[in-house]
Amino acid sequence: MSSHTTPAEPAAGPRAARRRLIRELLLVAGFFTVYKAGRLLSTDRTEDAFRNAARIWDAERFLHLPGEGAIQRLLLHGDALVTTANTYYAGVHFPATALFLIWLYIRRPAHYLWTRRVLAGLTGAALALHLAFPLAPPRLLDAAALIDTAQVYGPTVYKAAPAEDTLANQFAAMPSLHFGWALMLALGMIAATSSRWRFLWLLHPLLTLLVIVGTANHYWLDAVVAAVLLWAALLLVPKPRPSDPDRDPDAGPDPGSTAEPVQDTPVRGLPRPRSADAAVGAGQ
């Protein structure tokens, strides 16, 4: 006897895909909300933040790292250049990461899961360090003698006085998630693509590093610590294997694939294999 529920079966794929999408959106939004709320817990630790800033500044001089001012002086050669750097700092970080994750979710699901887990580990570790080690950025440290380029030239995402900023924690300089996320974006695109030009994605974290230092929002060591935390997260989260599916199984064959379909050709002398449905029916 034929079943009348068969026509509804094709809709299971789209429904499952929508459920996965909603789940991912809620997961990412929830994690980001927790992170933003957690960062605000250390906004009133002003003395600790400036004490730690002096220690970081002295440590960089002890390590003979180049002064952040050298990069800032390059930006200050022209108003357009420094304004572009401020705009890059304010406007590229979140949109670039969001577009990166969306592309992976649609085109490389296995790499998306890997990247999301790595970013979650990196961001969680960063939040713990923000709370344990509040740090004022170099633009607020008198010893650095640097210009707050965002306040002077614009655009800016921070209030002039950290105490007045209720939407952002200006004492969360270490590690730099601007750099950490940018570096993961580059590594993720290199891992998920096969173009001979894919290593050019490394220009994104390099440019981000020059921007965060030149605008005096971060120290060199902020980027170093972010890279170390990212390296630890990459060690802990298994990378997708070549055999892992990289497309939604409900989406059908990849329209861009040039591979020929596998033919179900029987081998001479052996019985023709049954379909999965026939095999299931026989076992009932």
User: Residue 252's CB: how many other CB atoms inside 10 A?
Assistant: 9
Q: 128, 137, 130, 126: which is closest to 50 by C-alpha? A: 137
Q: Would the pLDDT of 281 be above 80?
A: no
Q: Which stretch of 37-41, 142-146, 185-189, 278-282 has the lowest confidence by average pLDDT?
A: 278-282
In angstroms, rounded to a whole number, what is the distance separating the alpha carbons of residues 111 and 3?
39
**pLDDT at residue 196, rounded to an integer:** 93
Task: Judge contact between 111 and 188, C-beta under 8 A.
Answer: yes
At residue 141, the 3 state secondary structure works out as: coil
State how far the Cα of 155 lies from the Cα of 173, in Å rounded to an integer: 19
Q: What's the chain's Rg over C-alpha atoms?
A: 25
Q: Which of 176-180, 213-217, 251-255 has the least mean pLDDT? A: 251-255
Query: Could you read off the pLDDT of 36-62 as tens digits, one per residue?
Result: 666 666 566 889 999 999 999 999 999
Separation CA 37–CA 126 (nearest Å): 13
**Rounded-to-integer distance, Cα 6 and Cα 38, Å:** 49
pLDDT of residue 258: 44
Nearest-angstrom CA–CA distance, 127 and 124: 5
pLDDT at residue 125 is higher than 90: yes
Instruction: Report the C-alpha gap between 154 and 199 in whole angstroms.
Output: 32
Which of 110, 85, 100 has the alpha carbon at shortest distance from 184? Answer: 100
207 burial type by CB count under 10 A (0-12 exposed, 13-18 middle, 19+ buried): middle
Q: Is 24 exposed, middle or buried (CB count within 10 Å of its CB: 0-12, 13-18, 19+)?
A: middle
pTM: 0.78
pLDDT tens digits, residue range 56-105? 999 999 999 999 999 999 999 989 999 999 999 999 998 999 999 999 99
State the Cα–Cα distance between residues 113 and 225, nearest whole angstrom: 24
